[in-house]
Structure 1
Amino acid sequence: MHLDTWLTAVPPLAIYLLCAVVVGVESVGVPLPGEIVLVGAALLATRPGPGIDPVALAGAATAGAVVGDSIGYSVGRRYGTALLDRLGRRFPRHLGPGHVAVARRVFERHGGWAVLFGRFVALLRILAGPLAGTMRMRYPAFLAANATGAVLWAGGTVAAVQLLGLVAETWLKRFSWVALVVAVVLGLLVSRQVRARLERAASDG
């Protein structure tokens, strides 16, 4: 079976659940590709056939993010720095001591804003919940920032993909692999730039 045929045969409910679960588990503190899954699902929603509702998709990602971050907050509040040390040993390339130190410094300096805007940065997206719990951030303030960031991130990502899909549908059909490579390269460059700025901010603080 052709890949396109298989993808269009996947039930929309399965797509919603997959997106919610992956985003949720990532938000707990496990480095999974939540943003990639969300973008991929949003791309499917731009194509005829699957019947994926963009609003429902954004809602599923938002719910996964809020629930996952809340679980991460609870676990971080209970187990504290021991949890972060364990995550660092388990995923040294993603959550090593240096990464945790940078994220902690950002939290100390920006508080709730780090939770809200951290949803758009891979490192903070993974560590926001556990770090907020470890640092005894008030849960109502955390939940408000977490929910706001989740809505903006999920809704904005799906809306952006929908807009780009409608505007560039013909171009993407002809140059899909080129577009994919360009998007990945740009994503990596932006990610490296953001990480470098976070590290400089941490060292300057």
Structure 2
Amino acid sequence: MMGTSEAVAFAASAPVPPMLPGVLADLAPILDHYGYAAIAGLITLEDFGVPVPGETVLIVGAIYAGAGRLDLVMVALLGFLGAVVGDNIGYLIGRVGGRRLVEKFGRYILLTPERIGTAEQLFTLYGGGIIIVARFVEGLRQTNGIIAGLTGMGWAKFVAYNALGAALWVGLWVCLGDLAGAHINTIYPLAVRYQTYLGIAVGVLIVALIIRALVRRYRHRPPSSATQ
């Protein structure tokens, strides 16, 4: 049996994750206590609209893996499964519950009727591509499954694009978190800054796509008949 001195030495040699900046530090106790379950559970909840920090816990999990506290493959696998399952729950909510249910409760996840209408236009015009892009955009990530269900997108098509988007999203953050290691305090502010720029760029792209679609619809509208 291990003696007291050996136990103390073993504890001292155990991997210790780096000090975390910003909101990452707030999630450290949750990950310390619940581990893999926190990663899978929070990502699943976030991906059908529940306002929880799924993306952030994925990043912290990858940082812990880089410090030897968690297994990187398990973090990536559970992150991917949580993302796919969560989005499919959202898809079922949109597909089975319909517009009436979403409009009634959507305000709790900032999904207003106006935003639903805009998102439906985008999904109708650009379908799968929007699902992949939405994975990287706050707000769209949490609601893309619901909107896909509302628009009647085929489930097989949704699953394929959703899985691809989830794989790219998980791969990006897991790699960044794992590589960050002890340099997280330097890398984190840069990641937050460029994520903001990416969100702005995607927002501009979405507005441009909507304007383009409206212009095309106006140009192809049949001329109204002359009044008698």
**Paired residues, number:** 188
Q: Distance in 2 between matches of 1:67 and 1:8?
A: 21
Q: Is the 8 Å Cα contact of residues 30 and 38 (structure 2) preserved in structure 1?
A: no
Indicate yes or no: 2:184 matched with 1:184.
no
Change (3 A) 1:154 1:97: same
Please report how far the alpha carbon of residue 8 of structure 1 lies from its aligned counterpart in structure 2 after TM superposition: 11
Q: Please give the residue correspondences for 1:36-51 in structure 2 after superposition, counting only pairs within 5 Å.
A: 36-48=56-68, 50=69
Please report how far the alpha carbon of residue 195 of structure 1 lies from its aligned counterpart in structure 2 after TM superposition: 2.0
Q: Is the 8 Å Cα contact of residues 46 and 86 (structure 2) preserved in structure 1?
A: yes
Q: Distance in 2 between matches of 1:151 and 1:20?
A: 14
Indicate yes or no: 2:124 matched with 1:108.
yes
Q: Is the 8 Å Cα contact of residues 102 and 198 (structure 1) preserved in structure 2?
A: no
Residue in structure 2 matched with residue 199 of structure 1 by the alignment = 207
Q: Distance in 1 between matches of 2:108 and 2:96?
A: 19
SS at match of 2:140: helix
SS at match of 2:139: helix
Query: 1:75 pairs with 74, 81, 93, which one?
Result: 93
Please report how far the alpha carbon of residue 101 of structure 1 lies from its aligned counterpart in structure 2 after TM superposition: 3.4
Provide structure 2 residue ranges, at least 5 long, that are not aligned to the other structure.
1-17, 20-27, 214-228
Q: CA RMSD in A?
A: 2.6
1:108-159 Cα offsets, whole Å, 9 max, x none, are 1111222233222223311221111111111111112212221221123202
Indicate yes or no: 2:144 matched with 1:159.
no
Q: Which moved more, 1:136-145 or 1:120-129?
A: 120-129
Change (3 A) 1:112 1:184: closer
Q: Is the 8 Å Cα contact of residues 31 and 57 (structure 2) preserved in structure 1?
A: no
Please report how far the alpha carbon of residue 60 of structure 1 lies from its aligned counterpart in structure 2 after TM superposition: 0.5
Q: Distance in 1 between matches of 2:89 and 2:31?
A: 33
TM-score by length of 2: 0.71
Please report how far the alpha carbon of residue 73 of structure 1 lies from its aligned counterpart in structure 2 after TM superposition: 0.9
TM-score by length of 1: 0.78
Please report how far the alpha carbon of residue 188 of structure 1 lies from its aligned counterpart in structure 2 after TM superposition: 2.5
Q: Is the 8 Å Cα contact of residues 99 and 123 (structure 1) preserved in structure 2?
A: no
Q: Please give the residue correspondences for 1:1-205 in structure 2 after superposition, counting only pairs within 5 Å.
A: 10=32, 14-48=34-68, 50=69, 52-92=70-110, 95-163=111-179, 165=180, 169=182, 172=183, 176=185, 179-205=187-213
Change (3 A) 1:56 1:24: same
